Chains A and B, each alone.
Chain A
């Protein structure tokens, strides 16, 4: 299978561990991720005011470029990119007037867009096209005994009309964990917001949110968290430094991108996981479970 791929900015910089582990895993599952040309920033947040068309230009231009390459589907890994592209696409599908205006606002794009590109998140591909049962058959190193709490955050699930699963009781990450042989931990904070972009100017707010989320998972027996958003990842992983400064009882917990666990279970070279980019080093945990070799 070959599919058009939108990486987004952060996967090319801070979240290389996300991209590298994803690309390696997908290639081993015979999926070719075709990064389309001249992609630009998705806009990061979907504009919520009715009159703001200019902020829809970026996401729609990306979809036009997918169309220019004669593709009808595009996959993203980052939850924020997924949400922004999917909502912008939904907007133009439902509002032909806005679609016309956006087409007119384009510059070097010759193709007229009609909302025909389908925006997908990688988890949807894994679930619906590869199939979790197929993944279970292909894994070489089941992540046996690894207790992982899925963290969905906001933008994979909400608002419901673009979410990839039930917004209140999602199971897609839990099902994914099952397919790679890990044990999923149930806890009430799996869909609670991590305070997102507040991490730039209001670290305190993020620390409070992240502490609640991580502590809840730890108290339910989680040894690690799995997620799919580089911003959530930053808040839950890198901000553990600030969490520890504020909450002396906080023990720390490794955070994985789901693709890192996928690569690991498929038996790929540990290097593709780029664990050195994880803020909390997950390798001691993995070693203790005999999932990676000794140093």
Chain B
């Protein structure tokens, strides 16, 4: 199957939204792959971090928003520290999560967390998890 690329992709609302929310120029990424090379969680991701940006550049909204990868990213800032172009990928990942969360769609429903887990984990884990995963 061919992927049709047109001005609808390159000037899409989705791309504008990601740039607005993250404050980053998506086109600044030149696909060197250093983010993926250093990402501690890449083995659990379905789409590698650099490819996430690439898909955003190509305006592939659905594929990006449906990916597991954007939720696996734990904002460890390793990529941010090392990116030669100064692209803050953590901010881009957060905007992608926010686009879903702001539709009142939770990635993790707070009510689904068991009492056992609640009593076990420290507050910072719980609060940060819900900050990242629920609307």
Contacts and interface: CB of A to CB of B under 8 A. Distances in A.
Contacts of A191: 78
Given A48-B94, A209-B40, A196 B123 contact: no
A200 B121 contact: yes
A78 B113 contact: no
A197 B132 contact: yes
B21 interface: yes
Q: Is the interface of A mostly helix, strand, loop or mixed?
A: loop
A196 B41 CA distance: 11
Contacts of A45: 75, 127-128, 131-132
A195 B128 contact: no
Contacts of A51: 20-21
A295 interface: no
B81 A168 contact: yes
B91 A158 contact: no
Interface string A217-260: 00000000000001100100010000000000000000000000
A2 interface: no
Nearest to B108: A201
A199 interface: yes
Interface stretch (A9-17, A22-30, A264-272, A282-290): A9-17
A271 to B, nearest CB: 22
A255 B106 CA distance: 34
Interface in A36-51: 41, 43-45, 47-51
A144 interface: no
B104 to A, nearest CB: 16
Contacts of A154: 75-78
A15 B73 CA distance: 26
Given A48-B94, A50-B22, A195-B41, A231 B80 contact: no
A167 interface: yes
Contact of B78 (A8, A13, A158, A200): A158
B94 A9 contact: no
B124 A8 contact: yes
Interface string B106-131: 00100001000100111111111101
Q: A78, A197, A198, A205 — which one has the most chain B CB atoms within 10 A of its CB?
A: A197
B125 A200 contact: yes
A146 to B, nearest CB: 26
Interface string B72-105: 1011111011000000101100110010000000
A256 B108 CA distance: 31
A47 B131 CA distance: 9
B131 A49 contact: no
Interface in B1-30: 20-23
Given A44-B123, A154-B75, A197-B132, 5 more contacts: A44-B124, A49-B21, A78-B124, A159-B77, A167-B81
Interface of A: 8-10, 13-15, 41, 43-45, 47-52, 55, 78, 80, 154, 157-160, 167-168, 191-193, 195-201, 205, 208-209, 230-231, 234, 238
- Nearest first, the 9 A-B pairs at minimum CB distance are A193-B76, A158-B77, A48-B94, A197-B129, A200-B129, A197-B128, A9-B123, A50-B23, A44-B128
20 contacts: A9-B124, A10-B124, A15-B122, A44-B127, A45-B75, A45-B131, A45-B132, A49-B21, A49-B98, A50-B23, A55-B131, A157-B81, A158-B76, A158-B77, A191-B78, A193-B74, A195-B41, A199-B129, A201-B129, A230-B122
